[in-house]
Amino acid sequence: VLSQGHVAALLASGDRQGAREAAVAALARSPRDAALHLLTSRIADRQGDRRAAIDHAARAVALTPAPRR
């Protein structure tokens, strides 16, 4: 089972492509995971895929609940 931690470890090791593939697989199982979308955004940005980075960042924001006042 791929997790956010596994994806982050791949990214930290420099395996950007492996991290992106793992992130896409993890998102297929957990499409409403805001933290995973944010991590996927970082990966896409590091790979120069600005459109995917923006899309995943926007999805992360949309999935994050507003703070209570």
pLDDT per position as a tens digit, 13-30: 999 999 999 999 999 999
pTM of the shown model: 0.86
Neighbouring C-alpha atoms within 13 Å toward the C-beta of 58: 6
- Calpha distance 58→16 (Å, rounded): 21
Number of neighbouring beta carbons within 10 Å of residue 34 = 16
Enumerate residues 6+ apart whose C-beta is below 8 A from 52. Answer: 40, 41, 44
Over residues 42-55, the pLDDT tens digits come to 999 999 999 999 99
